[in-house]
């Protein structure tokens, strides 16, 4: 009983850590990629090495990868305590809702009614998955 409670607590703590670190990482990586441009076209025009160097020299990319590393180890921690069918969808779906807010604020994306509706559907899905 106590072990089950600890397992659930650790699972949800890891989900919180994944959401925060992953959202920060997603926003930073998105900003980096928007700065660089279409990777497929650049690779066709200038080659893979050029694109690799371009990406690795972008500071938003490097900080974003750092955030993703924190999210990754939080995921490993969570998976050692709870099922992948809870940790995976719950963390990723909550990250999606957090990203919709962060993208509007930090990336100035136009999050229209369609995208907000999608956020609500995903949020409701997360609640059901947690029951």
Q: Which is nearer to other proteins, 15 or 75 (CB)?
A: 75
Token pair belonging to 43: 């690779």
- Backbone dihedral angles phi then psi of residue 109, each to the nearest 5 degrees: -75, 150
Residue of 16, 53, 62, 105 that binds other proteins (CB under 8 A): 53
If binding is defined by CB under 8 A, does position 76 make contact with other proteins? yes
Cα separation of 55 and 108, whole Å?
A: 22
Q: Which residues contact 76 (CB under 8 A, 6 or more apart)?
A: none
For other proteins, the binding residues (CB under 8 A) are 26-27, 29-30, 33-40, 42, 50, 53-55, 57-58, 68, 72-73, 75-77, 79-81, 83-86, 88-89, 92-93, 95-96, 99-100, 103-104, 107-112, 114-115, 117-122, 124-131
């Amino acid at each position: 009983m106590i072990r089950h409670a600890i397992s659930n607590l650790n699972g949800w703590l890891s989900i919180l850590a994944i959401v925060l670190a992953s959202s920060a990482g997603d926003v930073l990586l998105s900003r980096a990629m928007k700065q660089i441009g279409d990777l497929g076209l650049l690779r066709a025009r200038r080659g893979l090495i050029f694109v690799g160097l371009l990406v690795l020299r972008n500071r938003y990319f490097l900080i974003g990868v750092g955030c993703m590393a924190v999210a990754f180890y939080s995921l490993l921690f969570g998976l050692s305590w709870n099922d992948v069918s809870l940790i995976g969808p719950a963390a990723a779906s909550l990250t999606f809702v957090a990203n919709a807010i962060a993208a509007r604020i930090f990336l100035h994306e136009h999050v229209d009614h369609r995208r907000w509706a999608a956020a609500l559907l995903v949020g409701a899905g997360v609640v059901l998955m947690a029951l």
